[in-house]
Amino acid sequence: MDDRVSRRTEILTNHLLRRAQPLSPPFVLHPHRCLSYCPPELCNEFAFDAREMRRLMDGHNLEDRDWLFSIIVQSALFNRRERAGRIFVCPDYNQSMEQQREATMKRIGYLVERGVFRGWLTGEGPEEELRKLALHEVIGMYDHSLAVKLGVHYFLWGGAVKFLGTKRHHDKWLSATENYDMKGCFAMSELGHGSNVRGIETVTTYDSNTGEFVINTPCESGQKYWIGGAANHATHTIVFSQLTINGSNQGVHAFIAQIRDSDGNICRNIRIADCGHKTGLNGVDNGRIWFDNVRIPRENLLNSVADVSASGEYLSAIKNVDQRFAAFLAPLTSGRVTIAVSAVYMSKISLAIAIRYALTRRAFSITPNGPEVLLLDYPSHQRRLLPLLAKVYAMSFAANDLKMMYVKRTPSSNKAIHIISSAYKATFTWNNMRTLQECREACGGQGVKSENRVGHFMGEFDVQSTFEGDNNVLMQQICKALFAEYVACQKKNKPFSGLGLEHMNKPLPVIPSQLTSSTVRSSEFQIDLFHLRERDLLRRFSEEVSEHQSRGESKESAFILSYQLAEDLGRAFSERAILKTFMDAESTLPAGSLKNVLSQLRSLYAVISVDEDATFLRYGYLSTENASAVRKEVPKLCAELRPHALALVSSFGIPDAFLSPIAYNWVDSNSWSSQL
């Protein structure tokens, strides 16, 4: 006991008097200088033209994007702050929900004054639509709440007025919407029905005596729910409702209803409640709406698809109920397009931050007293981030292709756009959440800080997996469409055409019994393998659905029972379409360094997609030996792409201010002086 007391006394005395403890020879310590930040640009040369790569990646309206980047960075409204001599912009997530909503509205006003939304609804043609999409992408890179608030107003409310309405609606509403003189929202989802829009319970009847429609919420499950803009700011809404004419339900239709006056007072017979605090998107005032026999003029029916005469006669050139319903859902296509593209850009930001951090942050020495190793020089860290980088490149090309399809759409292409936008929306948003999680972990504790963005993005963007269509439901819809194509071609003995299914008309691809590295990296082999998977899964899915039907199951029940193959087929369709757009983009380039690095990225995208999907082994598309050969290419390609990592994320064209402090001098940005 006395020895322990003496020992403790000695330790405390030495500590208080700052005496050094004597060390025996095995414990000799060597002094190490403090860690310092070294810009990765000093030791990472660019082997290709990053500006040209950006042109390929962004695809359109680079000058417009840079103009809006500059507008945002220059204004104090966007929460400018300095860290280690650099300016960063990012919403202040320490604000209350009410403060975030107020900040969103102020930012919208600032952007309106600077003409950002010019032509968003009154402009015509692909060029105007591409400008709108480009600017909306930039806004989303700054703040998801701001992008969603604007998306609801311009793409959903405004898009519904433009595409479901006719001249009388355009003349009255489009300019006012574009100038933000009035504020619109989009009341489709209900407490009891989200993805199942056909089942919504809001009911609208027609009163021929007054020439008015009467909108009613018949039960609590029929209340409109999650309506962006409804809680505080929207003055008008598009109401999706069952339309009953003379006792006959004509299905879901869209109406314009005013919910607030110009002073912000809630209109008569309308009740509105706040959805409350959320895990993200707290700058958006999501609300709930009840309609208590609300009367609106007959002219407020959006009547490009169907109309009701003054006497109460139901009129529509589209006699098929399913086709009519599909026409009313057309505005949602723009929502899926913008969500899919947004997911790609958020993946870009998170990868740019995590990879730049990994190029300057060191951990552990592998030799005695040797320097610590850069995170990105560890093969395991390369394996975590670089396949995701390859995926975001692949998805960028696919997103650009989708946007071009959308802005050049025709009535005959709408079905294909619906299917492909659904596939990409699900695939890109799922991939984004996985990317955000991996990047958050790859940044360690720094990834948890809100100012470093990546961790906070997870709460902000998780909702993309379910709004504008639950991803799993969208994938099932895709498989139903593919099934219909397959059955029609089989019955009529006609070739496949559209949706990229033309490969089904060719002989079955033959996979070599023994794969070499050069074969695995061949684009011909990669697309053959993806074609083989897709056509076999489509055949299996169709046969399984048909088998269930032969046993007495309805078609809907047969689809539900075949959900496992539907999941596999939806993935196969999406990944094949993505690979094909990557190959098409690559094929436009002349030989050179840019094409070489894209070839490596395309191969990494292909092999990681194969390695992560069990169907290649489950159904025998690859032998175990060939699957192993594909897997071995993953670390090889990661190592080959490692020298290009900085150039590849720099090619995203994202301003420094839109990244975060750990993407740059994370030592100085965390210094004591930076906190003063």
Cα separation of 335 and 341, whole Å? 10
pLDDT the model gives residue 26:
46
Half-sphere exposure of 415 (CA within 13 A, CB side): 11
| Residue 8 pLDDT | 59
Other beta carbons within 10 Å of 5: 9
Please identify every stretch of the chain with a pLDDT value under 70, giving residue numbers as ranges: 1-33, 331, 673-676
Catalytic-labelled residue, pool 129, 438, 468, 633: 468
Burial of 315 (0-12, 13-18, 19+ CB in 10 A): exposed
The CA angle 463-173-274, to the nearest 5 degrees, is 35
> Rounded distance, CA 354 to CA 358, Å?
6
For 254, how many CA atoms within 13 A lie in the half-sphere containing its CB?
Answer: 34
Residue 542: which of 506, 620, 473, 489 has the closest Cα?
489
The SS3 call for residue 595 is helix
**Residue 127 designated active-site:** no
Angle of CA points 621, 623, 626, to nearest 5°: 100
Q: Residue 221 to residues 194, 290, 497, 659: CA-CA distances in angstroms?
A: 11, 10, 42, 42
**Cα–Cα dist 217/199, whole Å:** 13
388 and 49 Cβ atoms separated by less than 8 Å: no
CB 189 within 8 A of CB 227: yes
Give the pLDDT of residue 42. 85
By the 8 A CB rule, do 529 and 611 touch? no
Give the Cα separation of 638 and 600 in Å (integer): 9
pLDDT > 70: what percent of the chain? 94
228 labeled part of a ligand binding site: yes
pLDDT at position 4 is 58
d(CA 586, CA 428): 20
541 neighbors 570 (Cβ within 8 angstroms): no
Task: Report whether 275 contacts 288 (CB < 8 A).
Answer: yes
